[in-house]
Structure 1
Amino acid sequence: MCKQWTGQAPVSYESSHAQERKRNSKQQYSSGYSLQRILALSRPKESKQIWLTSFGPNLRWGHQDMMWPLPKAALHKRPTQRLMELTKPKRNFQLNTLKVNRPEFVYSCGRNSQIWEVGRSALESRASERVLQLALPKNPPKEYKEDRLQHQYSCGRVSPIWNVPIRAQTCKERPRTAELAKSKRPHPEYVPNSEVMTTINPTALKAYCTMRVSDLARPKSRGERPFIDSRSPEESIWKVSMPARSATASPRVMEMAKFKGYADGYVANRSVQWPVSRATRRALATPRQEQLSAPIVRASMDHVQFNPDAFLVSEAAKKARCTPRLEELSHPIQR
């Protein structure tokens, strides 16, 4: 029998389970359904991911509770002079001075018509000839011909882009025009998406679940942690019976437990490191090997660029004649 610790006294899980089953069955047969079961199923499923990622106290986000409880001594303790000095706000050096920034609403979406206030002398003053000349819009060239009015394509355009004549408005519809105006039909085998809310049959709404279904729908009772605290660490999660502990495997089980062997002729991979013989360590290279291992020594560019004979063409190269194939390849492609 499994027992669960509730904080006060050990309670038998099977006895409480049987009492709840009887209570639900009485209410189920009296009204046709169990209200407590519906409320239990309507609760959202809790995420167990926090069990695997946190090892401290079980915290829930969304409130202002402290992670660790504060002692009463810390609540009644007075701050030091240094803490009181650090809690003072930063001083605003622009107060009571002429260098005060403009209010925030000047640069926000709710600003007035002008960004900052304009003086009366500026409002009553008259613009000079130069200012009036600069305020004139740019004139288009003489060869420019306006196709359509610009306001028709702006935000304040009228409903039609251009004027429709009365004959076009009163003309009869052609069969070809009506055929082209039809929307494209879907494929004959096209199946539309199912609705989000499915309609439930009235008989299914009035039906009540059996005792077996209610037993299977009941969630498994677990603790607040992903481990069992009611046992010692050496015990197994599931109890193993004594006959299972003392049972011996059959010959068939022993045969099936054997690992798969290697095929005939299998050769394992050669190790990365292998020992080098002493004769190889004491061997001396031949003169030919030393000659081949010597690097090619070329002159540096500092000496080549000062060589006056670096780009001289030999006499044999001057008197050489190209082959017919080279002469054929040297002709440009005619397009």
Structure 2
Amino acid sequence: MAMTETMGTFENIREKGRERLMVLSQPRKPKREWWTNPGPYAMWGTQDMLRPIPRSALSVDASGRLTELSTPKRNFQKGRDINRPLFYYSCGRASVILDVSTDAMSRETTQQLLDLAKPKALHQSYEDNGKQYLYSCGRSSPIWDVKKQAMLGPDRSLTTSLATPKSTHKDFLASRQIETIIPPAAITTNPSERIQELALPKKRPQGPFRSPEWNIGAAAKNSAATSRCLELARPKGVTEGYLPAREVEWQVPRAAKRASTTNRIHELSKPIIRASMDHVQFDPDAFIVKETALKGIVPRRVEELAVPIQR
């Protein structure tokens, strides 16, 4: 019986889950009103037209201008041996530089190509700046050639001291090898008796050990403790005026049970009753129009403001 109820519960949960999935699969509805809607409703991701095409537009013949605009652009690569696909022009593809044919290489260049191949000339007021060229990004190294006079000159003491490499510290020790090489004399020697004694493992007896309980002698039982032992065995006392912790439950005295409360205590024990905000803010005359307002004439400015904005 319990198994049947459990299966029924699972079926109900499955049905509710399917209904929830159907609700979540519906597209989201726009939260727009008719006065804020910029145009007709169109669902994203479909091929529906924003506005339906009338039948008269479908039956009318296209004009010459529309036919001309709908004609695709002429492909000038047709009829040639070279036909560059879009693969060469897409991002990250091969270079668009094509191989030059032998006919083009054997022909003479025109004057226009010679003019275009000339490099751009410098300005008339241009002045060469060697330092800027040497220290600019991507240029040659700023190290320049040494003059012959400087190469033939004698060395100075300061130049010699500066050219001397930095020496190591007097207490510097080079890195030791990972593997320590044992000399052959240490390998062939016989160890002493002390080394053999220290090399032996520690002896741990297997027992029998003394039991944790042992008999106390009669003399120890009949002995009396000294005053110092009695003083050390005395527990620590509490301070004067110490009161132990009170119990959680205690008996109420009869006088407290027979006592009666005063009128002041009855008055203070009454709860404060406050009216709810619905009753406080309720105004039955909020939507009543006065008779003078019903007989009045609406001015033209109020009529203009009451007209909705046309969007």
TM-score, normalising length: structure 1: 0.25
Rg larger in structure = 2
